[in-house]
Amino acid sequence: MYISKYKADNRMFDEIPTINLGQIILRSIYPNNLKLEAKFYYKISCDPLVKKYLPGAYVESEEEALMKIEEYIHRTLSGASVLFCIANSVNKFPSGYVLCSSPIMNYHDSKERIGDWTIDFWMHEMNRGKGIMTFAVQNVLAHMQRMQIPKVVAFTDKSNEKSMRILKACSMKIIGETSDDKMYKFAVLLNDTTE
Every domain of the chain and the residues it spans: 2-189
Share of the chain above pLDDT 70, in %: 91
Q: Where residue 174 falls among pLDDT bands split at 50, 70, 90? A: very high
Work out the average pLDDT over 76-87. 91
| Tens-place pLDDT, residues 137-171 | 999 999 999 998 999 999 999 999 999 999 999 99
Work out the average pLDDT over 44-64. 95
pLDDT at 115 over 90: no
27 vs 115: which has the higher pLDDT? 27
What superfamily in CATH does domain 2-189 come from? Gcn5-related N-acetyltransferase (GNAT) (3.40.630.30)
Model pTM?
0.91
Work out the average pLDDT over 101-117. 65
pLDDT score of 108: 47
d(CA 121, CA 134): 10
Burial profile 34-45: b = 16 or more Cβ within 10 angstroms, e = fewer? beebbbbbbbbb
92, burial (CB in 10 Å: exposed 0-12, middle 13-18, buried 19+): middle
Give the helix/strand (H/E) hosting 59. Answer: none
179 vs 99: which has the higher pLDDT? 99
pLDDT at 94 over 70: yes
Q: Where residue 195 falls among pLDDT bands split at 50, 70, 90? A: low
Work out the average pLDDT over 99-128. 78
pLDDT at 178 over 60: yes
44 three-state secondary structure: helix
d(CA 81, CA 88): 23
